[in-house]
């Protein structure tokens, strides 16, 4: 009973707000007789979403696959690189300014360049784009987790005559795990967004981003919105999965990390 109440307490306010917002939207469009090319009502968007579901699902799979591949490859590269950086300080001094410089480039322009390098129908440039974005997020966070270990932990390990490798394995890596999941939580929605935006720079017209663009170009406003809804759901799915993974992978989940900040052990 109390669990039901707690559930309602946490879900009711956003639910009420959401329903209220959509109702207001619907009423404004109807009441002011807004033209469909200006703003489509939610009911129309939903209708387009259901009638075009197969097409939207197909486009979602294309963008979703690009995002997922980029997310996994970027995370893997990020983890490996941060391990190398924590081990070889010189490498850090070389790579860090480079990483900052690369990050300063408005990276989406790279897609245009990458599109030139691969076949016009290739998904590779988009995946490389996602990989790059995810790579930096993961690298920065995990490197922090590997280096910002408690000095007491390091002194203890040295008092146990532990090797640098033991310290890495038993202190630095476990310490970096929550940082990795924080990075993934930021990177997951970012990978979806990057996958969409990459589609605006040419290539196959098969993903959610291209479909939104082409439908707007054809004044099919409601259909474009239906694709936006699909994009929202995809981003949300990525986020929820990364949050669930965090709960499974770290004992005590988020509560532990909250505790750690307020009370050093």
Partner 1 sequence: MSAVDIRGLGKVFNQGAANQVDALVDVDLSIASGEFVSLIGPSGCGKSTLLRLVANLLEPTSGSITVNDKTPKQARLDQDYGMAFQQSGLFEWRTVAKNIELPLELKGWDKSKRRERAMEMLELVKLPDFAEHYPWQLSGGMQQRVAIARALAVHPPLLLMDEPFGALDEMTREHMQSELLSICRRTSTTVVFVTHSIPEAVYLSNRVVVMSPRPGRITKIVDVNIEGERTDATRDNAAFFAGITAVREALRGVEMSDHVRGIEDR
Residues making contact with partner 1 (CB under 8 A): 150, 152-153, 155-162, 166, 170-171, 174-175, 177, 250-252, 256, 259-260, 263-265
* Angle (CA) 192 237 251, round 5°: 110
Strands (E) across 97-226 are located at none
Scored b (16 or more CB within 10 A) or e, 204-240 reads: eebbbbbbbbebeeeebbbbbbbbbbbbeebbeebbe
Instruction: Please state the closest distance from residue 255 (CB atom) to partner 1, in A.
Output: 8
Instruction: Please state the closest distance from residue 247 (CB atom) to partner 1, in A.
Output: 14
Of 149 and 222, which has the nearer Cβ to partner 1?
A: 149
Instruction: Please state the closest distance from residue 164 (CB atom) to partner 1, in A.
Output: 13
Q: How far apart are CA 235 and CA 209, in angstroms?
A: 13
Instruction: Please state the closest distance from residue 169 (CB atom) to partner 1, in A.
Output: 11
Q: How far apart are CA 31 and CA 23, in angstroms?
A: 12
Q: Are 130 and 176 in contact (CB under 8 A)?
A: no
Q: Are 166 and 179 in contact (CB under 8 A)?
A: no
Of 175 and 204, which has the nearer Cβ to partner 1?
A: 175
Of 27 and 255, which has the nearer Cβ to partner 1?
A: 255
Q: How far apart are CA 188 and CA 196, in angstroms?
A: 13
Q: Are 71 and 241 in contact (CB under 8 A)?
A: no
Q: How far apart are CA 39 and CA 118, in angstroms?
A: 38
Of 39 and 162, which has the nearer Cβ to partner 1?
A: 162
Instruction: Please state the closest distance from residue 172 (CB atom) to partner 1, in A.
Output: 11
Instruction: Please state the closest distance from residue 242 (CB atom) to partner 1, in A.
Output: 19
Of 35 and 158, which has the nearer Cβ to partner 1?
A: 158
Token pair, residue 48, equals 């387009």
Of 116 and 150, which has the nearer Cβ to partner 1?
A: 150
Instruction: Please state the closest distance from residue 170 (CB atom) to partner 1, in A.
Output: 7
Q: Is 175 helix (H, G, I), strand (E, B) or coil?
A: helix
DSSP code of residue 257: H
Of 80 and 255, which has the nearer Cβ to partner 1?
A: 255
């Amino acid at each position: 009973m109390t669990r039901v109440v707690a559930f309602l307490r946490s879900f009711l306010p956003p639910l009420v707000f959401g329903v209220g917002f959509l109702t207001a939207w619907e009423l404004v469009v109807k009441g002011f007789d807004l033209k469909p090319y200006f703003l489509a009502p939610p009911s129309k968007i939903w209708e387009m979403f259901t009638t075009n579901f197969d097409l939207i699902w197909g486009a979602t799979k294309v963008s979703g696959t690009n995002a997922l591949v980029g997310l996994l490859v970027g995370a893997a590269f990020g983890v490996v690189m941060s391990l190398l950086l924590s081990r070889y300080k010189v490498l850090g001094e070389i790579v860090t300014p480079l990483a900052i410089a690369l990050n300063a480039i408005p990276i989406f322009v790279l897609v245009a360049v990458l599109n030139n390098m691969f076949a016009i129908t290739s998904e590779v440039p988009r995946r490389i784009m996602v990989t790059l974005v995810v790579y930096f997020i993961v690298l920065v966070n995990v490197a922090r987790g590997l280096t910002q270990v408690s000095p007491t932990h390091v002194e203890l390990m040295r008092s146990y005559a532990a090797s640098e490798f033991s310290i890495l394995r038993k202190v630095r890596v476990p310490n970096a795990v929550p940082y990795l999941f924080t990075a993934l939580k930021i990177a997951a929605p970012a990978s979806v967004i990057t996958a969409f935006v990459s589609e605006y720079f040419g290539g196959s017209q098969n993903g959610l981003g291209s479909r939104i663009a082409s439908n707007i170009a054809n004044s099919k406003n409601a259909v474009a919105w239906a694709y936006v809804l699909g994009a929202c759901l995809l981003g949300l799915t990525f986020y929820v999965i990364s949050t669930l993974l965090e709960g499974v992978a770290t004992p005590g989940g988020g509560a532990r990390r909250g505790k750690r900040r307020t009370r050093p052990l």
